[in-house]
């Protein structure tokens, strides 16, 4: 089994992690297994060493919205470890994997004992706040089409050998995109049809290619300006 010094977030912590080993536990999980559920009172921090998970939040009306996915090397659960408030999200496994489960007390000890880890935590929290602020702004001022453009850009990476294109691998399911941007699957399907007719996207084996990310970006910027006006 893995050890704490192999956890990406804790590498080069500047302190001896061996004393914390016995206070953590390692567990394997299966596809579709719920690791954390809404309103759980647990305060453990989870460090993914392998596998992929999906994070969802739920509105007061019971509608679930996908915040994103995490994979090996990432962590979740730090908010409950910091403030002790019950879980605000559901984390469900997309694949098999393994996770290191660290009690809140251990996590806090390491953070206060290692300035390098404290700095990483601050940067991580800052990054997540900025990302959430950006998504909040999109939901507040952009219509469905432009929110979809933004989400596709966020999910994509530069396409190898084609510097002006981006790619999403594997291609996202329409119902998943709908849950990400707060609409119905049928609406996403209609938008994909339009994007295909405009030659903005192309489906290849195992990937969705964004042929004109510059068009997405310019349309989003224009929509933002129109709202500001």
Residue 118: which H helix or E strand, with range? helix 115-141
Backbone angles phi, psi at 150, to 5 degrees: -65, -40
Q: Label residue 208 exposed, middle or buried (CB < 10 Å: 0-12, 13-18, 19+).
A: buried
With b for 16 or more beta-carbon neighbours within 10 A and e for fewer, the 10-21 pattern comes to beebeeebeebe
Q: Taking a C-beta distance cutoff of 8 angstroms, is the pair 79, 85 a contact?
A: yes
Phi/psi at 75 (nearest 5 deg)?
-140, 160
The arithmetic mean of pLDDT across residues 171-190, rounded, is 94
The tens digit of pLDDT for each residue in 44-96 reads 999 999 999 999 988 777 778 898 999 999 999 999 999 999 898 999 999 99
Distance separating alpha carbons of residues 216 and 49, to the nearest angstrom: 35
Superfamily designation of domain 4-128: Jelly Rolls (2.60.120.10)
Percent of the chain clearing pLDDT 70 (strictly above) = 98
pTM: 0.84
Q: How far apart are the first and last CA of the chain?
A: 57
Q: How far is CA 107 from each of CA 116, 143, 185, rounded to the nearest angstrom? A: 13, 41, 40
Return the pLDDT at 1.
44
- Domain borders along the chain are 4-128, 142-228
Structure tokens at 218: 């310019």
pLDDT tens across 118-171, in order? 999 999 999 999 999 988 899 899 999 999 999 999 999 999 999 899 999 999
Residues in contact with 132: Cβ distance below 8 Å, sequence separation at least 6, in sequence order? none
Residue 90 pairs with which residues in a beta bridge?
56
Domain 142-228 CATH (choose: 1.10.10.10, 3.40.50.1100, 1.10.10.60, 3.40.50.2000): 1.10.10.10
Q: What is the mean pLDDT of residues 34-43?
A: 92
């Amino acid at each position: 089994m893995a050890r704490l010094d192999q956890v990406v977030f804790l590498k080069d912590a500047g302190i001896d992690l061996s004393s914390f080993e016995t206070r953590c536990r390692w567990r394997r999980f299966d596809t579709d297994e719920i690791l954390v559920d809404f309103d759980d009172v647990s305060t453990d921090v989870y460090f993914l060493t392998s596998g992929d998970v999906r994070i969802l939040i739920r509105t007061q009306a019971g509608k679930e919205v996908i915040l994103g996915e995490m994979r090996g090397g990432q962590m979740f659960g730090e908010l409950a470890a910091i403030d002790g408030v019950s879980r605000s999200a559901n984390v469900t496994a997309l694949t098999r994997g393994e996770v290191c489960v660290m009690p809140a007390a251990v996590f806090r000890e390491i953070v206060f004992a290692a300035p390098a880890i404290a700095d990483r935590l601050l940067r991580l929290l800052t990054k997540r706040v900025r990302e959430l602020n950006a998504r909040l702004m999109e939901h507040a001022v952009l219509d469905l089409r432009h929110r979809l453009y933004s989400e596709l850009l966020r999910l994509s990476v530069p396409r190898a050998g084609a510097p002006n294109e981006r790619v999403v691998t594997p291609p996202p399911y329409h119902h998943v995109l709908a849950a990400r941007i707060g609409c119905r699957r049928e609406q996403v399907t209609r938008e994909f049809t339009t994007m295909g007719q405009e030659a903005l996207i192309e489906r290849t084996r195992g990937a969705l290619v964004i042929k004109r990310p510059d068009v997405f970006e310019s349309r989003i910027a224009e929509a933002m300006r129109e709202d500001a006006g």
